[in-house]
Amino acid sequence: MTGYITLGTNELEKAAVFYDTLLEKFGAARTYSLERMIAWGSDPAKPMLVVTKPSDGNTARPGNGNMIALICKDTDHVRAVHKLAVRPGAENVSPPAEYGGQFFGDYFRDLDGNKICVFVMSQDTTAPVSED
């Protein structure tokens, strides 16, 4: 199964601050750092997220149709991550919303344009919004 997901960046330090803040909401922390990459995880047996400068030295560019999706605990968790993501300048692709009855998610692009989804499945997605 999935071991890690890699996203390209052209500004590793900015990406590091963005993902340190965002991934802390998932209980993840930096697991290792190299000169051109940083990895975050919550358990060595679970998938990690790696942000890296491309090894070929070319400019990092997000692929069309590529996306990663991070599982949230509930709709409030989706909303909290959305708020954290768009605050430092991530592009809001769509606000947190219900899709298809059992999927509540949010889509945004990180500081380098990589598309991210945060979501929760199989719960009452019509629950009232909490203001935190």
Grade residue 45 by pLDDT with cuts at 50, 70 and 90: confident
DSSP state of 46: S
Nearest to 93 by CA among 118, 115, 71: 115
Provide the CATH topology of domain 4-54+63-121: 2,3-Dihydroxybiphenyl 1,2-Dioxygenase; domain 1 (3.10.180)
| Sequence letter at residue 94 | S
Task: Give the tens place of pLDDT for each residue, 76-116.
Answer: 999 999 999 998 888 999 899 998 888 999 999 999 999 99
**Angle at 83 (CA atoms; ends 79, 87), nearest 5 degrees:** 170
- For position 65, what pLDDT does the model report? 81
Q: Judge if pTM exceeds 0.85.
A: no
Mean local confidence (pLDDT), 25-47: 94
Distance CA 18, CA 111 (A): 8
